[in-house]
């Protein structure tokens, strides 16, 4: 079974100094410059996505979060009213 992969083209204008640096780095790793750049961009993209999706908490914040889950505060009057309103809306459907 053959799997076809669609591709897209990416073009960028870079300085000659950066081009030389990328070429040198690619040569050091025994890769083509395209392979080197694609791998570097892919790694940077993964890091950017992870940083935007993962919430990192200090140890103190982790403890506070766990405590809030284990012993949540009693609902306020406003929260009780909001849940009652939500129940009415759901039952009206």
Distance CA 22, CA 29 (A): 11
Note every long-range contact of 74-77, with CB atoms under 8 Å and residues 24 or more positions apart, other chains counting. Answer: none
- pLDDT, one tens digit per residue, over 29-79 is 999 999 999 999 999 999 999 999 998 899 999 999 999 999 999 999 999
Q: Looking at per-residue confidence, does 6 or 2 come out higher?
A: 6
Question: Is the distance from CB of 26 to CB of 35 less than 8 angstroms?
Answer: yes
pLDDT-derived band of residue 28, with 50, 70 and 90 as boundaries? very high
């Amino acid at each position: 079974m053959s799997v076809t992969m669609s591709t897209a083209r990416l073009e960028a204008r870079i300085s000659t100094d950066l081009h030389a640096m990328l070429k040198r780095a690619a040569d050091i790793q025994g890769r083509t410059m395209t392979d080197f750049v694609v791998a570097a961009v892919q790694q940077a993209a993964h890091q950017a996505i992870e940083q935007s999706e993962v919430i990192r908490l200090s140890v103190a914040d982790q403890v506070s979060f766990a405590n809030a889950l284990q012993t949540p505060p009693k609902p306020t009057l406003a929260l009780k009213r909001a849940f009652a309103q939500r129940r009415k809306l759901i039952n009206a459907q």
